[in-house]
Structure 1
Amino acid sequence: MGRNTRKRRTPLATKVVAGAAALAVGGGGLVWANFYASAHEENPGHNRTRSAAAQVATIDCPDVGQQLSDVPDRARGEVDGELATMDSQITEAYKRLATTRRAQAGDAQFVQNAILGPLKDRRKAIIDRIQLEINRAGGQADDNLDELAGCQGQPAQQPQNGDGQDNGDGQNGDGQGGDGQGQDGGQDDGQNQDDNGNGVAGPVADDFIDINDVEPNSRNSRNGLAANGDGGSTGTFTTDCGVNENNLFNSDNLIAAPGVDNGAHHVHDYVGNQDNDAFSSDEDLANADTSCQNQGDKSTYYWPVLRLQDGTEEFDANDLGGGADGNIGRILKPAQAELKFVGNRQSDVVAMPKFLRIITGDAKSFTNGDANANSSWSCTGFEDRQVTDKYPLCPEGSQVVRTSNFQSCWDGQNIDSANHRDHMAFVQQDGGCANGFQAIPQLQVRLVYDIPTPTVENGSVQNPYAVDSFPEQLHKPITDHNDFINVMDEDLMNEMVDCINSGEDCQ
């Protein structure tokens, strides 16, 4: 599979941290050494049914970006760049964590002294620069941001709905999950003994669930409420933008990390606007081609790709965002990508401003907790059963479904905010908007995939599928997210609003 992108990428050899112990797997990607070491215990038959991830550490850092709510407009570019550098620091620290298991086994303080301590110092330097940039631009930086510099090691246990970060359970100040050792006391020479054959840290068997074991109508999420209902504005507007037939992929994030190459550390599918990379200006977006059938819709719709970890060497097997960031396997395009805008249960909707940016879900929710998580997984024929923290195992003839209902309450003023969230909100339980926010059309994205059902036996999963993620997020399903920038022309936006408010179904 090729890619269609104007980006110029630096060769892998100049970007990967020096000394990282990586091995080619199945034709591409990196082995993250010993991240799923077998549990060498007295009753292996019983314990093999558990995820070995419970004894494995990843890097858990406070999300500085989510704490920034008052950044002057003229400082936002610099601040976003600094935050992207901080993400890269976490990635490199994670790589070092994954490739130093022998040293960790021989020194209980290795992780703290060699990884987390230096990481804290580097993060503090960036936080100091962020504070300076905010103050120089006329803002008032929070003096307490330094408290967010320190990171911890965290066992790879999946946060459950409402659990946030497990209230700190299982986190050790020395940065090690469990004893930090692999099989045979960590003397594994970097060989991964239980990686499901995929060669990377995740997913694992406990990340999957048979859709028949999910209770109907049991999903209880604070986020992702469908805004439409029987009252208010009941119409719909559907836009058909294809399934990325043009092979437009990159690992940038124009919303969260503008101007930063590989700002996402994972690859996105793009439909709609065809000029999507970190360096695209609003003018570039307005002048670009679109894959949407209605040429008045140049909006950009993008989401992290799904991959089947079957040993396939993709085009990005050695690239940042791909194999160099632990994202390996065959990229799976959706068989269907349904993009629909709906109304509000309590009121009419108003037009979205051009270039409005919305992020739904949280790419870091495995370590951040579920406050902003908005993942929703299911199977065709079973869509009354939705799950946030597991990948579904679908029966024969059924397809995997990813659904995202976006925030649809707008502050009426801003097309973006410092943390890329505060200018938008989800509807309340009654379907209305609170605190002076205005109802806009709600984007609902439904992606359907033809995926061979993975086999889960004796605590292992064969040929798993997984969402691309930041390396330290371990491909957890709860990290799924979706992004949108409105680039509809004024006539089409007004047509959509009129259609929704009049109760019609249009496209």
Structure 2
Amino acid sequence: MIALVVGIVVLAMAGGAFVGITVTGIAGTEDRPAPRRASPAAPAHDRPGPVTADFVAIEKVPRVRAAPAPDGTLTAQCGSNEDGHYNSDNMIVTPGITNGAHHLHDYVGNTTTSAASTDRSLAAAPTTCRDRGDRSAYYWPVLRDLVDATKQARFPGEQESDRNVGLVLRPTASLVFSGNPFAPVVAPPQFLRVITGDAKAVTGGGRNAHARFTCRGFTDRVTTDRYPLCPDGRGLTRILEFPSCWDGRNTDSANHRTHVVFPDARGACRAGTVPIPKLTITLTYDVPVGASFAIDSFPDQRRAPLTDHADFVNVRTPASTDRLVDCLNAGRRC
């Protein structure tokens, strides 16, 4: 059965630019210690996706050249959502609207992030980060095991009509900030909102898509619009790299993008923008063998890998921000 599945999915593949982040560690659900093979009876029924063409064997993905490692990095040690902070809100894109995302988000950092969050409430909240001055909100769509599609209880705010079925898998999360190769980074403002990727890439044309997937042991192969099928299902990796060139004025913009943009292919910020610390979130999972997992999405995005995305609200104190900037500009690893 597995050989048949792989034989089908290798017809589609895509490359991408590897971001040069080293990933360590794996995790799964607390009560499922090892990946399992997808049953022929696994539900392919009432979910809107993914489809067979959304998967590719990692061995069939073209190799890419790794980017040079940055001189300065700081790892934000904020855990992997051990506290079970989930909701289907998005305080950046749909503030004040419960279930505004129509898909479930995984959170680390600020422990209170929801549709009701404000700058003031975030600044006063606890954090899961070891640096207690970092109360930032970090979040991304959950990834689910579709073999166990009927075993997950619905989370508060979720609606059946959103059609995101499956057992939520908890990743090992790595949050790394890095400097800029051309200029010192400046301090990002408190309450800066930044997003990466496009949650509506399927219907929106994909212009803002920024998904990256790979497998542990295959980090020279990165796919941008297919889920990779990793050997034995171990080490599936999502790489969520944020833009890092700020306009120097605004903490948000109407489309939540134009105030912070990506650098050029060399890593340089264009005229009129300044470099800020670049955040890369790397998520590593054990998943069922075969085409039996998917991220959550809006219903009309059919859980396509192209829609992977993440959100970040900077809620560092001035002292925490100074430590971050000083570390990166000094070229240290902190």
- Normalising by the smaller structure, the TM-score range is 0.7 to 0.9
Specify which structure has the bigger relative contact order, considering alpha-carbon pairs within 8 angstroms and separated by 6 or more residues. Answer: 2
Aligned mate of 2:281, from 445, 461, 476: 445
Pick closer, same or farther for the CA change 1:341–1:50 going to 2, 3 Å: closer
Distance in 2, matches of 1:198 and 1:485, equals: 37
What is the alpha-carbon distance in structure 2 between the residues aligned to residue 420 and residue 453 of structure 1? 37
Deviations 1:230-255 (A, max 9, x none): 6xxx2111111111111111100000
| Post-superposition offset of 1:312 | 3.1
Q: How does 1:190-269 map to 2 (within 5 A)?
A: 197-217=44-64, 234-269=71-106
Letter of the structure 2 residue corresponding to residue 332 of structure 1: L
Higher helix share: 1
- What residue in structure 1 maps to residue 252 of structure 2? 416
Q: Which residue of 1 aligns with 2:28?
A: none
Determine if contact 1:229/1:345 at 8 Å carries over to the other structure.
no
Indicate the residue corresponding to 1:436 in structure 2. Answer: 272
- Cα deviation for residue 204 of structure 1 reads 1.5
Residue type matched to 1:360 in 2? T
Q: Aligned partners of 2:15 and 2:231: how far apart in 1? A: 25
Q: CA–CA distance in 1 between the matches of 2:133 and 2:253? A: 26
CA–CA distance in structure 1, aligned partners of residues 103 and 13 of structure 2: 21
In structure 2, relative to structure 1, the CA distance for the partners of 1:494 and 1:280 (3 Å cut) is: same
Structure 1's consecutive aligned runs of 4 or more residues displaced over 4 angstroms after TM superposition are 48-51, 158-162
1:379 aligns with 2:221: no
Are positions 1:306 and 2:143 aligned together?
yes
Give the CA deviation at 1:401. 0.2
SS at match of 1:385: coil
For the residue of structure 1 that corresponds to 2:161, the secondary structure is helix
Taking the aligned partners of 2:258 and 2:225, their CA distance within structure 1 comes to 25
Q: Which residue of 2 aligns with 1:500?
A: 328
**1:355 counterpart = 2:191:** yes
In structure 2, how many angstroms separate the alpha carbons of the residues matched to 1:492 and 1:198? 49
Q: Distance in 1 between matches of 2:159 and 2:174?
A: 26
What does 1:84-95 correspond to in 2, within 5 Å? none
Q: 2-side partners of 1:286 and 1:295: how far apart?
A: 11
Cα gap change, 1:440/1:50 in structure 2, threshold over 3 Å: closer, same or farther? Answer: closer
State the percentage of identical aligned residues: 46
Q: Compute the displacement of 1:294 (Å).
A: 1.3
Give the number of aligned pairs.
303
Is 1:381–1:398's contact at 8 Å kept on the other side of the alignment? Answer: no
Shift of 1:380: 0.3
- Please tell me the residue identity of whatever aligns with 1:201: P
**Pair member with larger Rg:** 1
RMSD value over aligned CA atoms?
Answer: 2.5
**Mapped partners of 2:52, 2:157: distance in 1:** 26
Give the direction of change, closer, same or farther, for the CA distance of 1:161–1:264 in structure 2 (3 Å limit): farther
| AA matched with 1:362 | D
* Distance change >3 Å, CA 248–CA 429, structure 1 → 2: same
Deviation at 1:198, TM superposition (A): 4.6
CA distance in 2, matches of 1:497, 1:442: 11
- When normalised by structure 2's length, the TM-score is 0.85
C-alpha distance in 1 between matches for 2:9 and 2:232: 26
- Partner of 2:140, secondary structure, is strand
Which runs of structure 2 are paired with 1:54-93 in the superposition (5 Å)? none
Partner AA of 2:262 in structure 1: F
Give the partner amino acid of 2:222.
Answer: Q
Contact 1:229–1:344, Cα closer than 8 Å, also in 2: no
Shift of 1:216: 0.7
Cα displacement (A) at 1:50: 8.8
- Aligned counterparts of 1:471 and 1:284: Cα–Cα separation in 2: 30
Aligned to 1:95: none
State how far apart, in whole Å, the 1-side matches of 2:13 and 2:125 are: 40
CA deviations over 1:248-277 (Å, ceiling 9, x no partner): 111000000011111100000000001111
Q: 1:399 aligns with which of 219, 231, 235?
A: 235
Q: SS of the residue aligned with 1:472?
A: helix
Mapped partners of 2:265, 2:329: distance in 1: 21
Give the letter aligned to residue 209 of structure 1: V
In the alignment, residue 248 of structure 1 is paired with which amino acid? H
Indicate the SS of the match to 1:404.
Answer: strand
* 8 Å Cα contact 2:233/2:286 also seen in 1: no
1:479 to 2:326 alignment: no
One-letter code aligned to 1:315: A
Which structure has more strand as a fraction of its residues?
2
SS at structure 2 position matched to 1:291: coil
Does 1:275 pair with 2:103?
no
Q: Retained in 1: the 8 A contact 2:56–2:227?
A: yes
Matched with 1:316 is: 154
**Structure 1 residue 381: Cα displacement:** 0.4
Is the 1:255–1:357 Cα contact (8 Å) retained in structure 2?
A: yes
SS of the residue corresponding to residue 210 of structure 2 reads coil
Encode CA deviations 1:41-74: one digit per residue, 9 max, x unaligned: xxxxxxx9699xxxxxxxxxxxxxxxxxxxxxxx
Going from structure 1 to structure 2, the CA distance change for 1:50 and 1:433 (only over 3 Å counts) comes to closer
How big is the shift at 1:423?
Answer: 0.1
SS at match of 2:321: helix
Aligned to 2:177, the other structure's residue is in SS state strand
In structure 2, stretches of 5+ residues that fail to align are 1-6, 17-40
Q: 1:323 Cα deviation (Å)? A: 3.3
Give the whole-Å Cα distance in 2 for the aligned partners of 1:312 and 1:494: 47
TM-score w.r.t. structure 1 length? Answer: 0.57
- 2:129 partner letter: C
> What is the aligned partner in structure 2 of residue 55 from structure 1?
none
Q: 2:307 and 2:202 mapped to 1: Cα distance?
A: 6
Out of 131, 155, 173, the residue aligned to residue 337 of structure 1 is 173
Of 303, 317, 322 in structure 2, the residue corresponding to residue 489 of structure 1 is 317
Distance 1:308 1:360 in 2: 24
Name the amino acid aligned to 1:302.
Y
